[in-house]
Amino acid sequence: MSTLNPDKVTKALETPFIREMAEITQHMWRNGWDERNGGNVSYLLDEEEVAKYLDIHQVIRVIEPAFPVHELAGKYFIVTGSGKYFKNVLQDPAGNLGVLRVTPDGSKLELLWGLENDAKPTSELPSHFMSHIERLKVDPDHRVVIHNHATHVLAMTFIHDLDEAKFTKTLWEMCTECIVVFPDGIGIIPWMVPGSSEIGRATAEKMKEYHSVIWPQHGIFGTGTTVDEAFGLIETIEKAAQIYMLVAHHEIKQRITERELSDLAAAFGVTPRPGILSL
């Protein structure tokens, strides 16, 4: 690693979206969800917000994405770097994160800040970009995609049926707040090679209907309108999966019933995805 200039790091961390990225990646690493270079984050930014802190007319270099992203033309993102460790983001934001703008024709990415020493954007950029495209169609306020290797979610994919309805119902049953936090349930794709456009397409297909998608024996994608929301969603799913892994091999003496899940949803004004509760 190059020698770090403490003033440069401090200045970078004064930029709200850089600080948010540095803090959230640190949280996830401390949770044990992002060993080595595991995990990646992308966050759609407003041009005005970026222009407050960075010179948006100064393109550092041009990066070729795996495929053109016309739907995201002109949009700004802050993303984690390929092969970078979440553990290190806070101490070296510019080496581990980058701010990118998609060119007007959607064919290239312009680097405006960070990704120093010729670093590249996350290897999962196809999944992130395709997920942003689909989530934005459903919710214009959508902003954030987070991928990590949440431990108990991953563990659960070894021992639980991967049917989305069954998986979702089990998670809803684990903690009272779950049905309120993710009434739309959880999407699950088959095991696939990561980093590819194929896994990106499969993930994004699920994002048409779900805020969160599980990659069996790998990890989870969570989305939201803010970093807190996307992270909070993953945290809640991970907590439910943890409870499942704690109780799965024990005799269950009582549980939240379907009637109670229904009552809960009604009390909090959410509509559970149809086809999961049999009431």
- Residues carrying an active site annotation: 124
CB of 246 to ligand 2HA, least distance (A): 25
CB of 123 to ligand 2HA, least distance (A): 6
Residue 238 interface partner, choices ligand 2HA, Zn ion, none, CB cut-off 5-8 Å depending on type: none
Q: Which residue number is nearest to ligand 2HA in terms of Cβ?
A: 194
Nearer to Zn ion, 41 or 276 (CB): 41
Q: Which residue number is nearest to Zn ion in terms of Cβ?
A: 219
CA distance 143 to 99: 14
Write the DSSP string, 119-171.
--B-TTHHHHHHHHHHHHHH-TT--EEEEE--HHHHHHHHHS---HHHHHHHH
Strand partners, 241: none
CA distance 13 to 26: 13
What contacts 212, CB < 8 A, 6 or more positions away?
A: 182, 186, 187, 220, 221, 222, 223, 233, 234, 237
> What residue ranges bind ligand 2HA (CB under 6 A)?
37-40, 123-124, 147, 194
Nearer to ligand 2HA, 29 or 172 (CB): 29
Residue 37 interface partner, choices ligand 2HA, Zn ion, none, CB cut-off 5-8 Å depending on type: ligand 2HA
Nearer to ligand 2HA, 101 or 147 (CB): 147
**Exposure string for 165-186, b = 16+ CB within 10 A, e = fewer:** eebbbbbbbbbeebbbbbbbbb
CB of 38 to ligand 2HA, least distance (A): 4
CB of 145 to ligand 2HA, least distance (A): 12
> What residue ranges bind Zn ion (CB under 5 A)?
219
